[in-house]
Amino acid sequence: MSTFVQITFSGLATGAIYALVAVGFALLWQTAGAINFAHGEFIVLPAVIILILGEQRPTLGVPEWVPAVGGTELAGPLPEIGIIAAFAITIPIAILLLGYVFKASLVDRLLTPGGDDIPLVIATIGLGLVIREYLRLEFGATPQQFPSIFGTEVWRPGGVAISADDVGILAVSIVVILALQMFLRRTYTGWQMEAAAQNPNTARVLGIPVGRMIFYTFGINAVLVTIAALLVSPTTNARWDGGISLGLFAFTAAIIGGFNQVRGALFGGFLVGLLQNWSGYYLSSAYREAIPLVLMILVILWRPQGLFGIAEERTI
Amino acid sequence: MKTVASTAELRSETEAVTTVDRGAMSWPLAILSVVTTALVVTLPLGRSEFAGIMWLWLVALGGVLTLNLLVPMETWTGVVVKWVTLSGCLAFLLVFPIGRAASTLLDMGLFAVFGMVCVGTNLVHGFAGKVTLAQAAFLGIGAYVSVLFDTGREIAVASVTVTLPNLPFLLAIGIAGLTCMVFSVLIGFPALRVQGPWLAFVTLAFNLLVYLVLNNEEGLTEGSRGIRILRDDVTVFGIDLASGRNYYYFCLVFLIAATLLVWWIVRSPWGRAFKALRDNPARAASLGVDIRTYTLLAFSISAGLAGVAGALYARLIEFVDPRGFYIGQSFDFFLATVVGGLGTLVGPFIGVSFITILTDRLRIAGDYYRVWFGLFVVVMMLLAPKGVAGSFNELRARLQKRRREHGAKET
């Protein structure tokens, strides 16, 4: 029994991360109709940036003769700032790169209203290749250890081993998800985003800046992947090709839960995490990744809109 | 069927006239496109013998496309130019491997094998309009099936040990292709219900499942250790395939056969149904085209081609292990087909040279070619989403239209 509780708990923690990523995925699909095949690389990239900023003391290209500002020498390696501070710096970088630049340079150009979504799919596959290969060359092919911000402690209440990392992941994810739900449901901007997602034309007529709302979604997605990067990297390590399976499982979560519903993506995320851990322990550790994939194929066969999704009528 | 054909043709006519203007061509994009194209095209130069051959091949194909662009297709000169250049390309592939090093011949073999896969991908995506990202899985299934059936191996699945027969190589190739077709029907029947990106993800999931099985069923596949398999005892119709050059020609025969098969399918009523399907599935369905059967057919033919390619691949590199059949390889096949030009017969031949150069250069540490190739794909989607050959076709349609208008004005 205690083993089951233990496995379920760490499954929930894994699932929480998938849920975060899947929600970002679903938001992009809802509001912009964009599908991002580089989504997994969008998690690896912030992880690497956090790691470099926080621990590896990068050198900026500042020449020696530049005078010190406020007591800090600008030339030479940056001070070691720790993971949390690095995370804080990475968020605006992620919003800029993975939000603004991604939207302006690819999504806006490739997604024409009523057009085909395949060019964007192809371009994001290409983008994923670029990020993966660039990281492999610049950052190295060996996985880099990523410290957990919650420490490595393990508590044993009543014979159940529960790690601080899992507790922290679960707590942070739930707070983030609740905050996001509050934002989407309770604030004026959240309503506007919802309106822009449901019917862009009507929203525009009502004076809602649809373009800006769509940008907000990309921003939220960038923040979500950065948080996911911070949470998932201690277990997966920061590795150049980690994005392929992360992205695939986030998508699996989204399609199992239902792509057009935020709560569907949430549910799917937790389900995929739990299934992976349960099947990994009770069935076969070699096939822990296989069960969610099989479930996804079954869901697509029986209920293509997902377990929680609402069937969409697509105009031709 | 006649009506379908004519609507499809009508559609392609109107499409050619109303080419989508992708709008703002900004300066950064222009610079990026020039830089990536230049790098992707020039980087292979002077690196290895094979890269040099591929470079010449790309230049030759570029020349062929330009010639066909300039000479109007409707005239007799056009027909002559088309056939002369086509046979020139064939001669290129036949003559160039003569007297090359073993490593170059290996890469040329990869060109032929991967080319087959891309020809299949092109049938599914370019002609039937479905995105498939499971080609590496089918390549893998084909490779392992052929290895299992023509070496007389003992396999153990779930504590049952079976000794497999030692079949002739050609028969093993056939079994590999058929097995892949069976798998493709099993996966395609449910999966082809979903559209575009969803299908892409389902096929990706399938690819990962196949990879996991190949990696973990050690009794069947030796897992990540891989199976070493030599080519020195393989003869087909009395021809010894041990030498690199003979084996390359052997693979080339299959590549040409695959191309002819796809060419024939596209020309046949099937192919017209495919085109109708790709251009407007709803209209095709309303005209009585059985969408599901036709797409499934395209999907299984492409899987069969990938399976045959897999069987050839195993004997080409004389070693199979699951890593060669991971998702990344499927991405490569897919991007190659897209870059070459979807729905064209030359497209796969252009695209595959990029990815074989990639494979060739992967052996060099710290090589940026893959990064540039990825950027090249992105830029191509932004500027010329129809790929190299597709853009030439578009240009030709535009030229034709101008010529027609010009002629109308004169008379």
Geometric angle at alpha carbon A84, from A79 and A87, rounded to 5°: 90
Residues of A in contact with B381 (CB under 8 A): 110, 119-120, 122-123, 126
| Nearest Cα residue in chain B from A255 | B198
Between A62-76, A246-260, B23-37, the lowest mean confidence (pLDDT) is in A62-76
* Residues of A in Cβ contact (< 8 Å) with B373: 129
| Short-list B120, B328, B296, B292, CA closest to B204 | B328
Instruction: Give B 303-332 residues with CB within 8 A of chain A.
Output: 327-328, 331
Q: How many CB atoms lie within 10 A of CB B205?
A: 29
Q: What is the DSSP string of A112-138?
A: -TTS-SHHHHHHHHHHHHHHHHHHHHH
What's the ipTM? 0.84
CB contact under 8 A, A106 and B209: no
> Mean pLDDT in runs of 10 for chain B (411 residues)?
41 40 62 79 73 84 83 76 84 82 84 92 83 91 88 72 77 91 87 75 88 82 78 74 83 92 85 74 73 83 94 88 87 90 85 82 70 87 84 82 74 57
Determine the Cα–Cα distance for residues A135 and A246; give it in Å rounded to an integer.
16
For A139, the closest chain B residue by CA position comes to B366
What is the structure's pLDDT at A263? 82
The answer to whether residue B190 neighbours chain A at the CB level (below 8 Å) is yes
What are the domain boundaries of chain B? 2-15+102-382
Closest CA–CA distance from residue B208 to any residue of chain A (Å): 8
- Contact list in B for residue A26 (CB cut-off 8 A) is none
**Confidence (pLDDT) at A124:** 92
- At position A313, the amino acid (one-letter code) is E
CB contact under 8 A, A300 and B193: yes
Nearest to B205 among A105, A293, A304 (CB): A293
pLDDT at A73: 59
Q: B130-173 pLDDT, tens per residue?
A: 888 889 999 999 999 888 887 777 777 767 777 777 778 888 89
Which chain A residues are closer than 8 Å to B323 by Cβ?
Answer: none
Instruction: Compare all CA atoms of chain B with the CA of A293 and give the residue at the minimum distance.
Output: B205
pLDDT at residue B101, rounded to an integer? 80
Contact state of B331 with A128 under an 8 Å Cβ cutoff: yes
Q: CB-CB: which of A121, A129, A293 is closest to B131?
A: A121
Residues of chain B contacting residue A128, judged by C-beta atoms under 8 Å apart: 331, 374
| B202 in reach of chain A (CB within 8 A) | yes
Mean pLDDT of A278-297: 84
For residue B177, give how far its alpha carbon lies from the nearest alpha carbon of chain A (Å).
24
B188-240 tens-digit pLDDT: 887 777 766 778 888 888 999 999 888 887 777 777 787 888 777 777 777 77
DSSP A23-68: HHHHHHHHHH----TTHHHHHHHHHHHHHHHHHS-PBPS--TTSPP
The 3-state secondary structure of B314-366 reads: HHHHCEECHHHHCHHHHHHHHHHHHHHCCCCCCHHHHHHHHHHHHHHHCCCCC
CB A220 within 8 A of CB A271: no
- pLDDT value of residue B14: 40
pLDDT band at A74 (very low <50, low <70, confident <90, very high): low
CB A248 within 8 A of CB B211: no
Binary contact (B196, A297; C-beta < 8 A): no
CA distance B228 to chain A (A): 23
Does the beta carbon of B23 lie under 8 angstroms from any beta carbon of chain A? yes
Instruction: Name chain B contacts of A115, Cβ cutoff 8 Å.
Output: 20
B374: nearest CB among A126, A255, A284: A126
Q: How many residues in chain B?
A: 411
CA distance B197 to chain A (A): 7
Residues 6+ apart with CB under 8 A from A63: A75
Residue A238 has pLDDT above 50, yes or no: yes
- A297 Cα to chain B: minimum distance (Å): 7
Enumerate domains of chain A plus CATH numbers: 2-59+76-302 (1.10.3470)
Using an 8 Å CB-CB cutoff, list chain A residues near B20.
112, 115
Phi, psi angles (nearest 5°) of residue A64: -60, -35
CA angle B285, B286, B289 (to 5 degrees): 40
> In terms of CA atoms, which chain B residue is nearest residue A36?
B197
- Residue A177: is its pLDDT beyond 60? yes
Can you tell me the distance from the alpha carbon of B33 to that of B192, in angstroms, rounded to the nearest whole number? 35
The sign of the dihedral angle between the CA atoms of A312, A314, B2, B5 is negative
> How many Cβ contacts (< 8 angstroms) between chains A and B?
125
C-beta atoms of B193 and A301 within 8 A: yes
DSSP state of B235: E
Q: DSSP code of A238?
A: B
Q: Which residues on adjacent β-strands are paired with residue B155? A: B162
Neighbour count for residue B284 (Cβ, 10 Å): 23
Tokens of B345: 């017969």
Residue A237 corresponds to which tokens in the numbers above? Answer: 């390590």
**Residues of A with CB below 8 A from B196's CB?**
116-118, 121
User: Strands B154-157, B160-163: parallel, antiparallel or unpaired by DSSP?
Assistant: antiparallel
Q: Strands (DSSP E) along chain A, which ranges?
A: 154-155, 162-163
Q: Does residue B230 sit in helix, strand or coil?
A: coil
Chain A neighbors of B385, CB-CB under 8 A? 110, 119, 122
From chain B, the residues in CB contact with A130 under 8 A are: 371, 374-375, 378
CA distance A9 to A281: 13
Interface probe with A: pick from B211, B378, B386, most Cβ of A within 10 Å: B378
Q: How close A27 gets to chain B, by Cα (Å)?
A: 16
Binding-face residues of B in 337-356 toward A, CB within 8 A: 338
pLDDT number for residue A210? 86
Pair B122, B271: CB distance under 8 Å: no
Ranking A73-82, A220-229, A263-272, B9-18 by mean pLDDT, the lowest is: B9-18
Using alpha carbons, select from B172, B339, B310, B263 the residue that is nearest to residue A125. Answer: B339
Task: List CB contacts (< 8 A) between B187 and chain A.
Answer: 297
Question: Which among B29, B20, B24 has a CA at the least distance from the CA of B375?
Answer: B29
Sequence-ordered strand ranges (E) for A99-244: 154-155, 162-163
* pTM of the predicted protein model: 0.86
Q: What pLDDT does B409 receive?
A: 65
pLDDT digits (tens, 9 = 90+) for A155-174: 777 777 888 888 889 999 99
> Which residues from chain B sit within 8 angstroms of residue A117, using beta carbons?
196-197
Hey, are the CB atoms on B197 and A117 less than 8 Å from each other? yes
Radius of gyration of chain A, Cα coordinates, nearest whole angstrom: 20
Task: Give chain B positions within 8 Å (CB) of A268.
Answer: none
The answer to whether residue B403 neighbours chain A at the CB level (below 8 Å) is no
pLDDT for the residue numbered B83:
83
Poorest-confidence range of A69-78, A141-150, B188-197?
A69-78
Among A193-207, A248-262, B59-73, B155-169, the least confident range: B155-169
Cβ separation B378–A117 shorter than 8 A:
no
Confidence of residue A220 (pLDDT cuts 50, 70, 90): very high
CA B72 to chain centre: 28
Of B159 and A91, the one with more pLDDT:
A91
Q: Which long-range contacts (C-beta less than 8 Å, at least 24 apart) are formed by B98-101? A: B98/B245, B100/B49, B100/B53, B100/B245, B101/B49
Q: Which residue of A has its CA nearest to B370?
A: A133
